[in-house]
Amino acid sequence: MTPVTERESWRALGAHAASVAPRHLREWFAVDPGRTRRYTLEAAGLFIDWSRHRIDDRALELLIALSADRDLPAWTERLFSGHPVNGTEQRAALHVALRAGAGDPGTAAGAAAARATRILDGVREFASGVREGRIGGSRGMAFTDVVNIGIGGSDLGPGMVITALQDRDEPGPRVRMVSNLDPVDLRDALRGLDPARTLVVVGSKSFTTLETLANARLARDWIGARLGPQAIARHFAAATGNAAAAREFGIAPERIFDVPEWAGGRYSLWSAIGLPAMIAIGPERFDRLLAGAHAMDRHFLESPAHRNLPVIVALLGIWCTNFLGATSHAVLPYDQRLRDLPAHLQQLEMESNGKSVDRDGQPVGCSTAPVVWGSAGTDGQHAYFQLLHQGTVLVPSDLIVMRETPPGDESAHRLLVANCLAQAQVLALGSDDDAQAHRRCLGNQPCSVIVGDRLDPETLGALVALYEHKVFVQAVVWGINPFDQWGVELGKTLARSMADRLGGPASGDDSPLLERLRGTRTPR
């Protein structure tokens, strides 16, 4: 595979970037006032304004040509058809099938969609039973609390959906998320809970994840010590691709829900891994989440590149990372309910595209995933926005805001939206105060503003799918595999070996650090 940096389309982009990079966004707007309308798109309930990027029509034309040169249409078709696009593991990546409905069982994607539908039917029935009190614990009492134990994609995605969509006034079990191997995390989650009314959900595709199993065993001990070993089967459920291991753990077969091998962790929110979210928001609203993602899938698959939201967002990222020199990207939701979205996108983008070799194992030759970070926008304004406005580094950003808010909060919401728009303007244009250098904001920070009508399940589903497809488009252009994570796997392997050394006898090969930490124990 020819490295992307050796393509003529890449060289043309480099030459064009050198010619336009010195221009300030104030100049872009002065010479092209029509960009505020021309550089917008709307699809699947989302509207995006990218006019505040340091980009022009020629750069967009060259970026789209680069994506075509890298066979993006063909790769997109492979993704949706069930081709093994995860080359190092010889797997498909059919997360799109999880939200496609039954489909045509005569195709690989259709068969995957049909399988996903059957699995989710069982998850819906179980979630409804827990919410309505028909499914309870060993003493016949309804569950009032659910503790989800997972990590990475088995925690970040479902937790983000719960934070964004759960109606705190609606009756139903409270859901607590546990991911950290530090026992404090589980201890805090279990504090104050009645074990007779607590359901523990274990989310692990392999059912071998070190952190998840360590916490799951502690939770099993907690249930067993208080209700007896026979109660464990009634107080646990699992979302996993390893049903045998879940049964061996003590979970009843009817409470084990399959996660297909082609549903990668950071793309598995839409599968049985979403069980805690389905319990929290209800099966009907979870289905609407799937529908919103499916609407974005269809838009991505069917729209031409110049009218394609995920393609445009991805190419803007490539322009900023590879041709303007940005090394990080901020995600700034102006909605408190989306405060967990940046953490979900950190895993999605950096675990997917944090690669230095291409699909053939050769050096990729250019920067790939930037560092993704962020928080709720108004909080950030009183923390790191100072760096964005007057610092020395280029930081492109996405500002996300909703047009509507729940009734009764109109004035506060108007102020929230005003802050979003004001920050976008200052990031792009800076200030005109040349008299006092200390007050001067240089601007010229690229940013997109993404708008939804309201934060409902459809909007959230479309938003997450937008970023999923952005990651895929960028991976195709860079020539990398976004669906494996061998760096993560190496860390897991070494941790098991290091745990044995920490618990074993001293050795002459021990470092001072290992000597210091051997025999780590809790205080008496």
Per annotation, catalytic residue among 205, 235, 344, 351: 351
Run of H or E including 393? none
Q: Tell me if residue 95 is catalytic.
A: no
Q: Tell me if residue 492 is catalytic.
A: yes
Spatial neighbors of 436 by CB under 8 A, at least 6 apart, are none
Of 257, 163, 161, nearest in space to 204 by CA: 257
The torsion region of residue 107 among left (phi > 0), alpha (psi -120 to 50) and beta comes to beta
CA–CA dist 67, 13 (Å, integer):
12
The alpha helices in 303-409, defined as continuous H runs, are 309-318, 341-346, 352-353, 377-380, 385-390
CA–CA dist 470, 444 (Å, integer):
23
Q: Tell me if residue 306 is catalytic.
A: no
Under DSSP, the state recorded for 95 is: G
Per annotation, catalytic residue among 8, 125, 492, 515: 492
The pair phi, psi for residue 43, each rounded to 5°, is: -165, 150
Which two three-digit tokens encode residue 464? 């997450």
| Rounded (10°) CA dihedral 74, 46, 276, 81 | -10
| C-beta of residue 113 within 8 angstroms of C-beta of residue 97 | yes
Edge-to-edge strand list for the sheet holding 198-203: 174-178, 145-149, 198-203, 236-240, 256-258
Per annotation, catalytic residue among 6, 302, 382, 438: 382
| C-beta of residue 201 within 8 angstroms of C-beta of residue 178 | no
**Helix, strand, or coil (residue 452):** strand
Amino acid at the residue 280: A
Question: Strand ranges (DSSP E) for 334-458?
Answer: 371-373, 397-402, 447-452
Question: Active-site residues: which are they?
Answer: 351, 382, 492
